[in-house]
Structures are given as structure tokens and as C-alpha cells.
Amino acid sequence: MLSYVVAVRDMFMHVPCWKLPTLHRALHTRPEGARMEVAGGYAEVLKRAVAKQQDAGSAAMSQG
């Protein structure tokens, strides 16, 4: 349940929590859904963010 709660809940605060699964499915049927990232929870989101930051830092160091 947390996979869609993280972002969808932040984007659509007016949606009741019991309707989030339906909203999540509806978002994935739209063209924008292909660009969405789905994570299993906050820990996974943080790991991805740190990895992206480290990759960007490594790229900058190799160019500089």
C-alpha cells in the first residue's frame, strides 16, 4: 500500500485514503503513468535519491 501512498498522497491530498488504490491505477492508465516511478516505501525512495545523487556527483567529478 505504501508504494502509491507516498507520491499519490502528496499529489492529491484531498483524496480519501481508501480511494488511493483506485487513483493509483487510474494514473497508470494515462500517458503520464509511463513516467511515474513506483517504490515499495520511503526507504526505497531514499535509496534511489541517494543513488541518483551519488551518480550525479561521480559524473561531475569525472568531467571536472
The pTM is what?
Answer: 0.49
Yes or no: say if 27 and 33 are a contact pair by the CB < 8 Å rule: yes
* Dist. CA 1–CA 64, nearest whole Å: 43
pLDDT-derived band at 58 (thresholds 50, 70, 90) equals low
Digit-coded pLDDT (tens) for 18-39: 888 898 888 889 887 888 777 7
* Residue found under cell 511515474: 36
Q: Which residues contact 4 (CB under 8 A, 6 or more apart)?
A: 20, 21, 23, 24, 38
Per-residue confidence band for 3, with pLDDT thresholds at 50, 70 and 90: very low
- pLDDT on residue 7: 59
